[in-house]
Structure 1
């Protein structure tokens, strides 16, 4: 199967003219390593006109979308592909209301599917950052007037981010996650999930990093109001501006999904030609997500 490369919308439209074209593409990814029946584990099957597979032994038919994040997409695979293409290739994020109008679906339908896409954009955790890494915390909601240091205002969303830097001091990769507070117990998860024990980590002098320094190679220096962490603070500013200007407000329940989206595009900025295929592959590899998991009760 020839994977789609590039960011040209006209070329994309020519490649995926129908839902069947999309099913063929999904099937090529899903069964790239060969078919295996989910019912009886047999490896031989008949290929149907819609590119689903029917097991030669038990007769079970497995569709290209089954048990993926495209499971039971009700508004058409082609529309779903276009939303994935825009979310992966756009330099600016897109609201659910915009997507709803653009593709003729309700805002609610667009929002739910876009949340599924953000699920796929989460890091696998298989390639932790090494080399030079800077870490800092931030809050979404602005600076509290009259208060110095970390804000513990319950209304503000607390987060921590880490960036891996090139020898020239530019951002190579970035990850961000929501935290409950600024304690070592909360801060440790960005290290566990995304930073190698071999990395040379630099943080400011916040005391929450001291217990973590027993396990990781951490050098604590003065922030100098961000002057010693220019690349990191630039990314923090960008992610805050992106959320504020596109969505106005994001709930605690969904904030990590939005971080996933932002970091996904940053981390693949050097491989833009294959970013769409990368996203579709991740969506096929992820198990189906039910609506109840995407709705804050």
Structure 2
């Protein structure tokens, strides 16, 4: 992979890792469902400007309205809501690690349930290692060695399941330009979250929210969503889906670094051990390292 693509990959991993930090700071002052609406609507507005500049607004066809709503629900509304709810109680680093299980759940949903992909030996092994890693992480709270509430961790795992369902559903958008698909799903999720945000945000005060929180809201919407989507789709087009998927390994590492340096977060020994097992599972799931070793042996 060229150096340009490696730089894009690292930048994207840092941005998406930072999104957990932005959310942790913002959700301390803004109700989770309101924060979700602010994130998706601001990102949608930014991508509308991009589509207008690229003369692609006409590609937002009415025939795609229902698919965009479903994609917006699965890829934005549900996972963002679950992540922000979870982050009211757990740190950015732990939330990002639990969210990194998305490829594991994608294999389960796409391979076992939807029958879209063949289940190879490395995928089965990767899923088993991933599940083991999650079990080790959750055992830290179950055994009382960590104070992170179990429900909050399960909420973040639920977000990973939603992302897996979205990845499976996204197959029907192959003929749609990536930036159009991204804008359409964000428009769909904005429409879904608007009434929910109004209903749940009655006690929240716009004027009493600090500038720090608003800066993190802008970072979530403009940087971690709109800009990140554009970088991701550019990387996808230049380096391919397999190379782009490496961002999964970078995101939790960057979130842990930011959480430790900026928020002073720390994980328990069991949580770190579970993270290690999960990382091994993701590498095995990816399969490239194993293929290279096999090729060298021959």
Please, what TM-score do these two structures have when normalized by structure 1?
Answer: 0.30
Higher CA-based Rg: 1
Please, what TM-score do these two structures have when normalized by structure 2?
Answer: 0.29
Structure with the larger RCO, 1 or 2 (CA within 8 Å, 6+ apart): 2
The structure with more helix, counted as a fraction of residues:
2
